A and B are shown apart, each in its own frame.
Chain A
Amino acid sequence: MQDYFLSIKSLKVAYEQRGELVTALDSVDLSLSQGQRGVIIGPSGCGKSTLITVLAGLNSHYTGQVLIGGKPPASGGETALILQDFGLLPWKTVWDNVILGLKLRKKTAAEIKTTAETVLEKLGLSSLAKRHPTQLSGGQRQRVAIARALVLAPKLLLMDEPFSSLDALTREELQDFLLELWEETKLTTLLITHNIEEAVLLGQKIFIMSSSPGQIQQEVENRLAGATHLRGELQFLEMCSTLRSFLRGRVHDEASA
């Protein structure tokens, strides 16, 4: 049996809402090996974000087994979370946002300075360190969110629709940037998206989810991941249409059921 870095087995998350029991996720099985990039795609309300909160250690009300590097998820551990609206604090400068995680981990001032400077430099953000998030473009903000995650040297990167609020060009630019970063760091990543092209471009493993309750419908191995030069090529479009038919099929099944 293969040794997975991230392994989820029969995960179930249910919570009470206005006296009713809502099952957000049911019998979810998902695994990624070290350095692998997984993408989850599915309709809104399929429990994708619930899954992310469990993995980020922010939600411990689940049953089943979740192991990250052999340990159950914990916040402030080796997992970094990047949200759709970036979650940057508008009252802190870029610098203060980036070093927050290091500060919370009680690192020494010297250590904080070197780590943050290196990461900002690498992401081309050094000149923006004194600005506030509202003074940045969407793409720059997203980079700052990535920097904030990277300074902590995480073992697992979780991204919840990280590019959905960006314009098409910025989105492509950042996708390329992420691919380069992955090439360099080999960081195990789980990314959520509702964009089929993005899933094909970024995900080595693509998980198609269905809603109510959230379940993984299909798992697709994707050899085209990272092939930016194939964007818009026939192979790429064929893969997209395969995914689309999986997503459609699910809708169709639900309609006929």
Chain B
Amino acid sequence: MRQALKKGGGTISLILSVIMLLGSWWLLALALKSPAVPPPLGAVKIFLASLRGDLVIHLGISLYRVLISLILAAALGVPLGIFLGKNPRIDAKISPMLYLTYPVPKVVFMPIFLILLGIGDISKIVLITLIIFYQILVTTRDAAKNLEKGYISSVQSLGAGSRDLYIHVFLPGCLPSILTSLRLGLGTAMAVLFLAETYATQKGIGFFIMDSLSRMNYEEMFAGIIAMGLMGFFLYVILDKMEKVLCGWVHL
């Protein structure tokens, strides 16, 4: 019963948020009276119409790029983060390197990636992966470092080896933090995706938006922005569901 109410409440606040968002957009469009900010109705119409056209293809390609990047970044960042958190001596040697390279804006390497890896998906995926990788690595490492020592020694005393500790203690114990870093990383990934897709590509939602801009088709441009927003929202919902399923114990 309470669960159902909560669920209903979630849907209502979602509808309210959409109405609020569209309302303020409409007011802004009225106030600005600029062709660059068309009223929402036209943009939504074009969005729905484009869904039958190539917008879906662009969306699919962008989704693929972001998803693969998130998965790759987690696959690299999580084990390494746990390893460093578990071995403070090695961490002490590695972390200066980490902190020297972390603040460097990785987007500046985009031209290099384009030259080295070509203009296809790989250069974009590598760029996004590299950027989120750091966030996941640092968050996971700190979570592993701060894990209650009692969990480790008690499971060790049961006879757990290093691998058992990864599976039964470190991974599940760090999972809430890992999912938080994925949620933060998703926002970053979307921003980098847009940037990456505005260079040397004919595909992706970023291209769709910039292409509409260059044709001064602002309604279509906003249709692209709506599509990008929905894609991000969809991915957040997935991460939220994952958190509920995998980390249910946190909310007990």
The chain A residues found within 8 Å of chain B, CB to CB, are 53, 56-58, 75-77, 79-92, 100-101, 104-105, 132, 134-135, 145, 148, 152
A77 touches B159 (CB 8 A): yes
Question: Are A100 and B156 within 8 A (Cβ)?
Answer: no
Complex CA distance for A148 and B155, rounded to whole angstroms: 10
Chain A residues within an 8 Å CB radius of B155: 87, 89, 100
A179 to B102 CA separation, bound complex (whole angstroms): 57
> Are B159 and A87 in contact, CB atoms less than 8 angstroms apart?
no
A135 to B249, CA, bound (A): 10
Which residues of the partner chain A approach B156 to less than 8 Å between Cβ atoms? 58, 75
Interface string of B35-61 (1 = CB under 8 A from A): 000000000000000000000000000
In angstroms, Cα B161 to Cα A75, docked, is 10
For the complex, is B162 an interface residue (Cβ under 8 Å from A)?
Answer: no
For the complex, is B154 an interface residue (Cβ under 8 Å from A)? yes
Task: Point out the residues of chain A lying under 8 angstroms from B160, CB to CB.
Answer: 75-76, 104
Bound-state CA distance A132–B153 (Å) is 20
In the complex, which residues of chain A have a beta carbon less than 8 angstroms from the beta carbon of B103? none
**A87 with B150: CB separation less than 8 A:** yes
CB of A73 to closest CB in B, whole Å: 10
The number of inter-chain residue pairs (CB within 8 angstroms) is 69
Query: Pick the contact of B159 from A88, A101, A145 — CB < 8 Å?
Result: A101
A134 and B249 form a contact (CB under 8 A): yes
Q: Which residues does chain B contribute within 8 Å of A79, judged by CB atoms?
A: 157
The verdict on B173 contacting chain A, using a C-beta distance below 8 Å, is: yes
Contact residues in B for A76 (Cβ distance below 8 Å): 157-160
Q: Are B159's CB and A132's CB within 8 A?
A: no
Contact of A89 with B168 at beta-carbon distance under 8 Å, contacts A83-B150, A134-B252 already known? yes
Place the interface of chain B in its size category.
Answer: 20 to 34
Provide the residues of chain A in CB contact with B172, threshold 8 Å: 89, 91-92
Known: A53-B153, A56-B153, A89-B151. A101 touches B158 (CB 8 A): yes
The residue in chain A whose Cβ has the minimal distance to the Cβ of B171 is: A91
Q: Which of A84, A91, A100, A135 contacts B158 (CB 8 A)?
A: A100
Whether B154 contacts A87 by the Cβ 8 Å rule is yes
**Is B240's beta carbon under 8 Å from chain A?**
no
Chain A residue numbers with a CB within 8 Å of B158 are 75-76, 100-101, 104, 148, 152
Q: Considering the complex, which residues of chain B in the window 109-153 have a beta carbon less than 8 Å from any beta carbon of chain A?
A: 148, 150-151, 153
Please name 12 pairs of A and B residues whose Cβ atoms are closer than 8 Å in the assembled complex, sorted by A. A56-B157, A58-B153, A58-B156, A83-B153, A85-B150, A86-B150, A86-B154, A87-B153, A89-B155, A89-B172, A100-B158, A104-B159
Distance of A88 Cα from B151 Cα, bound (Å)? 7
Identify the closest chain A residue to B173 (Cβ): A91
Task: Give me 19 other A-B pairs in contact (C-beta within 8 A), A81-B154, A84-B150, A148-B158 excluded.
Answer: A53-B153, A57-B157, A58-B153, A58-B157, A75-B157, A75-B158, A75-B159, A79-B157, A83-B154, A86-B154, A87-B154, A89-B168, A91-B173, A92-B172, A100-B158, A101-B158, A132-B249, A134-B249, A145-B154
- Separation in Å of the B165 CB from the closest CB of chain A? 10
